[in-house]
Amino acid sequence: MKNSALASTSLLVPAFLRGFSSQKIYNSRTGRNLVVVQLSGGNDGLNTIVPYRNDIYYRSRPTLGIKTDQVLTVSDQLGFHPALAPLRSLYDQGLMSIINSVGYPNPDRSHFRSMDIWHTASDSNQYLSTGWIGRYLDSACPKDQPHYALEVDDSLSLAMKGHQRSGFAMSNPNALKKTTDNRFLQAVAQHHDHHDHDEVAYLYKTMIDTQSSADYLFKQSKVHRSKGSYPRTPFAKDLKQIAELITADTDTRIYYLSLGGFDTHINQGNQQQRLLKTYAEAMAAFVEDLKSNGLLDDTLILTFSEFGRRVSQNASNGTDHGTANNLFLMGGQLRQPGFFNGAPNLSKLDKGDLIYEIDFRQIYATILEDWLDCPAQGVLPGSFEKLALV
Amino acid sequence: MERNTLQIRHLFLRAGFGLSPGEWQRWKLASLEQAVEHLFSEAANAKQLQLTTENGLTEADKKERRKADRKLLMRQNADWVAHMASGTSNALLEKMSLFWHGHFACIQRQPKLAAQQLRTIRQHALGSFRDLVHAISKDPAMIRFLNNQQNKKAKPNENFARELMELFTIGRGNYTEQDIKEAARAFTGWSSTLLGKYKFRRRQHDFGPKVFMGHKGRFNGDEIIDIILEQPATARFIVRKIYRYFVNEQIDEARVEQLAETFYADDYHIGRLMRRIFTSSWFYAPVNIGRKIKSPIELMVGIMRTLQVEFDSSLTLIFIEKALGQILFRPPNVAGWPGGKSWIDNSSLMLRLNLVGYLFQATDVNFRTKAEFEAPKRNKAMKKIKAEVNLQPLLNQFSNYKYSELVAAMSTYLLPPSSSIDPDWLRQFTANGHAEDQVKSVCLRLMSLPEYQLC
């Protein structure tokens, strides 16, 4: 099995894949990885990183506020939601940066639109059909590989779509292999010779790339079995798969995955508690796993949500769509672990919502230039001041 | 392939959704003039499209109503697609309506308003673009989607005015920020009632003088639209978009300029513009044939017409739309679906290539779409595509051919002209023996080719 899958399509395999040996050398990588975690639905940042000394917080959230004695205090102003306990040790080891009040001008409170804005890095009155990672793939910076950016899902997010190149969607290597193990389509890939126009060539290229990437990723997924102890949630399973691929020195540098369910309009307490627990336990296991393989210095993990929620709770023991939010970075090379900036200002709101201090595109610009070594200009629409993050 | 047959195929694919096997038989040898005439007269005599708008709930709480409305929107979506696919549809009218549906992109929440907007679009789809813009600017779904409910004299909201110019009529670079501010004032008070009727709220309207695109006056919204339509740049913007959608993603500037001049001189008559396109010899030039990547709706409706597909539930159809990236009544944003190569990534392409195989129940799908933002959990993966396929019309057309001729004949029907399939090579992947099995397996193979994604 080892080589046969590749051998049968060897003529079609792009040059970078040819001559691959299945013997991989661990922990000798030079490339850096970026892992993007999307919390879909709008995570309530104020109950995630709790301003437990702030009276306005408790006045605005008489039943929903996290009680002072339950908060895991990490600074004299801010503390973690109790469900984030597994992240406490990451914080203490300097492996986590928390950036408060991240947003953009004229915020949109619709899930779709705000997620669009985060994916495309557009202004709020601008419509782009490509995402920031997709445009990074379009740039000359990354190697031209179909699976250079991988989304752990069956379908691809807008963030991952570029003009010329796109990321690669794969929920798991076995399932992907099934969709490409089509004897007919494999033969078609070998049989075709020339294409008289761009569109048909593009379709064939995408098909052949998918077939060879599916073979490659399937093989890579068998190289390393993680010894880390992950919780038994689908989200943790996705992260484990990413850790295994990273450890196997896979030619993928960007990973993207999502955890949904954060739209907590009604009875937020239990729902958010459950989700944050899922998030924190899995992330702690993931970081630990990478660390034990000496890969944490090569990895940066970004966690974001499309918006935060209103400062005041609503009448259903929940919170409605808001604006600015906190964002997490994790990894071994953070320049400013702990809190990057101060707590959000609850006494100066815009119609009941937080006012952003840091444009999320400043964070993208920093990641592009300081982590991925790629000029942000051309990838981001406009120029954004970098921050001392990595 | 005979030149005329090739042109007929091209016409019906672009002006509609391709031909069912029966229609293929009827039209493949007809003259182009006849075919164009047929498309337009069919559209002119079209009946209204009846979409269900009642969710059946009289007194229900908000949450239940919202859930019922979401279901109903899916049903309307499926009904419209089924209509596009039906043998009695007005292909040109539906295709044109689908174009405007993407042009005046509006995320719908209320089934009643969605049906109303689609009615407005269908009414003007081949009529006057001027009437269409005026009607859309008074359309309650659009008014709500672009926040014109909140556009009041004391505090104007610029959203509608901005998109009207940037996306619906003239395009960027042809107006100033000041023009947007002035136009927004002219649309103040353009609102809708709770029941979903247009309402002009006089007390919220700014009757003061405005300066817009060099004109001075106490303009209202209608006058603003007419000033925008006075600009030849508007005709150019619309023609460019129509050209990219119906002719070629690669713009032929001289051609577009010519068409735009006539479109402008013809006071924005859409039907006559389309007729001009479909009767031009350049429309049938090889460079314009088989070069467009089908949108998910075009792909599905085409398959449904060829294989007489009936889905067991609208959920199945919506699943495919979602997995392929085009849900009717739910464009990604006000800019609509970007189209072209952006339809294709590794996931959507493999699903497209395997789709007919899934319909024939050859293999399992096992595809999980992304969950709604409001949903607490991941979606369940779709295991199988449950649908009925009726091959009889296809068999009627093709079961009398010998194998090598069968491959050629079906290729002519299903694939762009440049894709030559070697029957001897294909034989290893198709059934031998019984004619029915042969037709079915050749059809499955041809419809699984990357070339089938093109029109």
Here the CATH number for the domain that contains residue A264 is: 3.40.720
Contact list in B for residue A235 (CB cut-off 8 A) is: none
Say how many C-beta atoms besides its own lie within 10 A of residue A298's C-beta. 19
Give me B65's structure tokens: 């109503």
Tens-digit pLDDT profile for residues A293-314: 999 999 999 999 999 999 999 9
Gap from A182 CA to chain B (nearest CA, Å): 9
Answer whether B375 sits within 8 Å of A111, measured CB to CB. Answer: no
Same domain, A333 and A213: no
Residue B360 has pLDDT above 50, yes or no: yes
Confidence of residue B50 (pLDDT cuts 50, 70, 90): confident
Asked if residue A41 belongs to a domain, the reply is: yes
**What is A34-97 written as a DSSP string?**
EEEEEETT---GGGTEE-TT-HHHHHH-TTTSPPGGGSEE-SSS-EE-GGGGGGHHHHHTT-EE
Residue A8 has pLDDT above 70, yes or no: no
pLDDT of residue A2: 33
Same domain, A193 and A73: no
Of A5 and B145, the structure prediction assigns the larger pLDDT to B145
Tens-digit pLDDT profile for residues A24-80: 444 445 689 999 999 999 999 999 999 999 999 999 999 999 999 999 999 999 999
Beta-strand ranges (E) seen in chain A are 33-39, 49-50, 72-73, 79-80, 96-103, 149-151, 168-169, 254-259, 299-305, 325-331, 338-339, 358-359
pLDDT of residue A89: 96
Considering only A7-11, A103-107, A378-382, B116-120, which range has the smallest mean pLDDT? A7-11
Answer whether A184 sits within 8 Å of B366, measured CB to CB. Answer: no
Same domain, A131 and A53: yes
Instruction: Compute the mean pLDDT over every residue in chain B, rounded to the nearest whole number.
Output: 95
Q: Residue B170 in contact with residue B183, Cβ under 8 Å?
A: no
Asked if residue A152 belongs to a domain, the reply is: yes
Instruction: Compute the mean pLDDT over every residue in chain A, rounded to the nearest whole number.
Output: 92
Distance (Å, whole) CA A106 – CA A323: 9
* CA nearest neighbour of B360 among A156, A207, A184: A184
Confidence of residue B89 (pLDDT cuts 50, 70, 90): confident
pLDDT of residue A222: 96
Residues with Cβ within 8 Å of residue A287, at least 6 apart in sequence: A90, A95, A296, A301, A330
Q: Residue A41 in contact with residue A261, Cβ under 8 Å?
A: yes
pLDDT of residue A194: 67
Residue A7 has pLDDT above 70, yes or no: no
In sign, the C-alpha dihedral spanning B249, B255, B261, B266 is negative
Asked if residue A28 belongs to a domain, the reply is: no
Same domain, A115 and A144: yes
Classify residue A55 by burial, with Cβ atoms within 10 Å: 0-12, 13-18, 19+: exposed
Domain count, chain A: 2
Confidence of residue A12 (pLDDT cuts 50, 70, 90): very low
Three-state DSSP at A358 gives: strand
Q: Which residue of A has its CA nearest to B249?
A: A199
Tens-digit pLDDT profile for residues B31-42: 999 999 999 999
Say how many C-beta atoms besides its own lie within 10 A of residue B280's C-beta. 15
In sign, the C-alpha dihedral spanning A82, A83, A88, A89 is positive
pLDDT of residue A197: 84
Give kind and range of the element (H or E) at residue B211.
strand B210-212
Answer whether B353 sits within 8 Å of A204, measured CB to CB. Answer: no
**What's the half-sphere exposure (Cβ side, CA atoms, 13 Å) at A189?**
25
Same domain, A64 and A100: yes
Backbone angles phi, psi at B191, to 5 degrees: -135, -175
Same domain, A83 and A151: yes
Q: Average pLDDT, stretch B212-230?
A: 98
B243 secondary structure, DSSP code: H
Asked if residue A79 belongs to a domain, the reply is: yes
Go through A250-279 and write b for each residue having 16 or more CB atoms within 10 A of its CB, e for each that does not.
Answer: bbbbbbbbbbbbbbbbeebeebbeebbbbb
Q: Which residue of B has its CA nearest to A160?
A: B345
Answer whether B346 sits within 8 Å of A166, measured CB to CB. Answer: yes
Asked if residue A234 belongs to a domain, the reply is: yes
Residue A265 has pLDDT above 70, yes or no: yes
Distance (Å, whole) CA B426 – CA B431: 10
Angle (CA) A243-A161-A174 rounded to 5° is 40
Q: Which residues pair with B311 in a beta bridge?
A: B387
Q: Which residue of A has its CA nearest to B420?
A: A192
Residue whose entry in the numeric block shows the structure tokens 């944003």: B333
Q: Which residue of A has its CA nearest to B375?
A: A261
Residue B1 has pLDDT above 60, yes or no: no
Report how many Cβ contacts below 8 Å link chain A to chain B: 137
Q: What is the widest separation between alpha-carbon atoms in chain A?
A: 71
Helices (H), B308-422: 314-324, 346-359, 392-398, 403-414
The fraction of chain B above a pLDDT of 70, given in percent, is 100
Q: Residue A75 in contact with residue A88, Cβ under 8 Å?
A: no
**What is A307-329 written as a DSSP string?**
--B-SS--TTSS--B-S-EEEEE
Contact list in B for residue A106 (CB cut-off 8 A) is: none
Instruction: Using CB atoms, pick whichever of B162, B418, B429 lies closest to residue A125.
Output: B162
- The parent domain of residue A79 ranges over 33-172+228-371
Same domain, A159 and A212: no
Residue A239 has pLDDT above 90, yes or no: yes
pLDDT of residue A268: 96
Gap from A352 CA to chain B (nearest CA, Å): 18
Same domain, A124 and A141: yes
Same domain, A331 and A343: yes
Last residue of one domain, picked from the residues A220, A253, A285 = A220
Instruction: Using CB atoms, pick whichever of A166, A191, A271 lies closest to residue B345.
Output: A166
Instruction: Using CB atoms, pick whichever of B341, B347, B448 lies closest to residue A154.
Output: B347
**What is B88-130 written as a DSSP string?**
TS-HHHHHHHHHHHHHT------HHHHHHHHHHHHHHTTSBHH
Give residue A332's Cα distance to chain centre: 17
Gap from A122 CA to chain B (nearest CA, Å): 13
Asked if residue A388 belongs to a domain, the reply is: no
Beta-strand ranges (E) seen in B240-397 are 310-311, 387-388
Gap from B354 CA to chain A (nearest CA, Å): 8
Distance (Å, whole) CA B311 – CA A11: 40
Residue A160 has pLDDT above 80, yes or no: yes
Same domain, A180 and A288: no
Same domain, A82 and A47: yes
Tens-digit pLDDT profile for residues B263-319: 999 999 999 999 999 999 999 999 999 999 999 999 999 999 999 999 999 999 999
Instruction: Using CB atoms, pick whichever of A157, A175, A199 lies closest to residue B454.
Output: A199
Asked if residue A74 belongs to a domain, the reply is: yes
Q: Which residues pair with B192 in a beta bridge?
A: B198
Tens-digit pLDDT profile for residues B434-452: 889 999 999 999 999 999 9
* CA nearest neighbour of B224 among B188, B172, B252: B188
Tens-digit pLDDT profile for residues A183-217: 999 999 988 766 778 899 999 999 999 999 999 99
Give me B56's structure tokens: 């059946």
B150, B162, B166, B350: best mutation site toward chain A, by most A Cβ within 10 Å? Answer: B350
Asked if residue A7 belongs to a domain, the reply is: no
Q: Average pLDDT, stretch B94-103?
A: 98
Same domain, A68 and A138: yes
Residue whose entry in the numeric block shows the structure tokens 């590989």: A145
Residues with Cβ within 8 Å of residue B335, at least 6 apart in sequence: A127, A129, B105, B167
pLDDT of residue B421: 82
Distance (Å, whole) CA B130 – CA B229: 7
Gap from A387 CA to chain B (nearest CA, Å): 30
Instruction: Using CB atoms, pick whichever of A184, A199, A203 lies closest to residue B349.
Output: A203
Q: Residue B97 in contact with residue B136, Cβ under 8 Å?
A: no
